[in-house]
């Protein structure tokens, strides 16, 4: 595993786009299906999370057209209005089965730009690899949008090593790099290493955006054998939050706690710092309120020592296939 010095910004692959070394995912902004938007939190809490995130030095936000059926984009666009600070937005194209032709990309992008109240998006990603449109048609349609100046860089999400290389090869014919692959990655979700995705991305110069970097809350220390409680929403049926599941991660939480005490940081901040120590990884945790946003941004401005990064890597090897 290659370790790099943590910087305040990172480039998105071999593109010209540079963003903060930590981002924020906005799946929960406006989504009431998986999350409890409109019940346990709402627009006011999210706007406070946005402001606290920017104040903490994070200016990179990841959204998608399907989050809240466009509501996440709309909220983010509204919050960005009048901001003096430059905000970098990434959103995603949903490759629904009925989107068969390249024109679907232009239409979807037009709607996302309208939702965001912008005429340019720094990063536009394909949300998942399963579709009826060919990769060749899709990647060339995205390349057209780069040349039109409506997007700055192209990304994919949840692509395998082979799928990522194929997309990269198609774009290379247009002299445009594949900048990003957004994948699930955390100390407790390291399958991208065993599946060759991390290595392939490093070889191709592709940045990985790590979603669910706190394993949906398991790495925050909020859930443990000493503090048994049921999570909200769909996580209630996740076996990882059961007594046996929490027992398995107890040694990991203990090490995170020890390192956190050394640096006066929380287990979540240590977990995010570990991801930022990787050569080409930008974690994008979520934040539903200002408190969560401030905890996220507390992962910036300090470095785990290389031997501590190695300790965390070793203790979480049982999760290399998770």
Annotated catalytic residues are: 67
The residue written with tokens 């949008």 in the block is: 145
d(CA 209, CA 127): 12
Distance CA 286, CA 292 (A): 8
Task: Measure the CA–CA gap between 173 and 97, rounded to whole angstroms.
Answer: 26
Residue 32, SS3? Answer: coil
Half-sphere exposure of residue 133, counting CA atoms within 13 Å on the CB side?
A: 24
**Quick check: helix, strand or coil at residue 253?**
helix
Cα separation, 164 vs 19, whole angstroms: 21
Please give the distance of CA 26 from its chain centroid, rounded to a whole number.
9
DSSP label at residue 37: B
Let me know: does 143 contact 115? Beta carbons within 8 Å.
no
> Of all helices (H) and strands (E), which one includes residue 199?
helix 197-204
Q: What are phi and psi of 238, to 5 degrees?
A: -80, 120
Q: Among 24, 37, 105, 99, which residue's Cα sits nearest to residue 63?
A: 24
CA distance 249 to 24: 25
What token pair was written down for 104?
Answer: 């679907």
Burial of 97 (0-12, 13-18, 19+ CB in 10 A): exposed
Residues in the chain, overall count: 322
């Amino acid at each position: 595993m290659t370790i790099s010095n943590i910087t305040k910004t990172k480039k998105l692959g071999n593109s010209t786009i540079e963003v903060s070394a930590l981002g924020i995912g906005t799946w929960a902004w406006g989504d009431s299906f998986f999350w409890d938007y409109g019940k346990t939190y709402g627009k006011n809490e999210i706007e406070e999370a946005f402001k606290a995130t920017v104040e903490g030095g994070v200016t990179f936000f990841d959204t998608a057209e399907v989050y809240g059926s466009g509501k996440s984009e709309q909220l983010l666009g509204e919050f960005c209005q009048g901001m003096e600070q430059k905000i970098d937005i990434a959103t995603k194209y949903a490759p629904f089965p009925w989107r068969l032709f390249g024109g679907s990309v232009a239409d979807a992008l037009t709607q996302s730009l309208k939702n965001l109240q912008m005429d340019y998006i720094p990063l536009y990603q394909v949300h998942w690899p399963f579709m009826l449109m060919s990769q060749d048609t899709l990647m060339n349609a995205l390349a057209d949008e780069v040349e039109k100046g409506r997007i700055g860089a192209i990304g994919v999400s949840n692509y395998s090593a082979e799928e990522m290389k194929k997309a990269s090869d198609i774009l290379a014919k247009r002299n445009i790099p594949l900048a990003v692959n957004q994948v699930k990655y955390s100390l407790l979700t390291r399958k991208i290493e065993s599946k060759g995705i991390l290595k392939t991305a490093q070889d191709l110069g592709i940045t990985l955006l790590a979603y669910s970097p706190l394993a949906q809350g398991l790495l925050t220390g909020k859930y443990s054998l000493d503090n048994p409680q049921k999570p909200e929403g769909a996580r209630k049926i996740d076996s990882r939050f059961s007594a046996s599941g929490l027992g398995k991660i107890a040694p990991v939480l203990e090490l995170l706690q020890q390192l956190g005490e050394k640096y006066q940081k929380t287990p979540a901040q240590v977990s995010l710092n570990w991801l930022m120590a990787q050569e080409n990884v930008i974690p994008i945790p979520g934040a539903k309120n200002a408190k969560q946003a401030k905890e996220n941004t507390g992962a910036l401005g300090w470095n785990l020592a290389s031997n501590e990064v190695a300790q965390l890597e070793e203790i979480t090897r049982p999760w290399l296939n998770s």
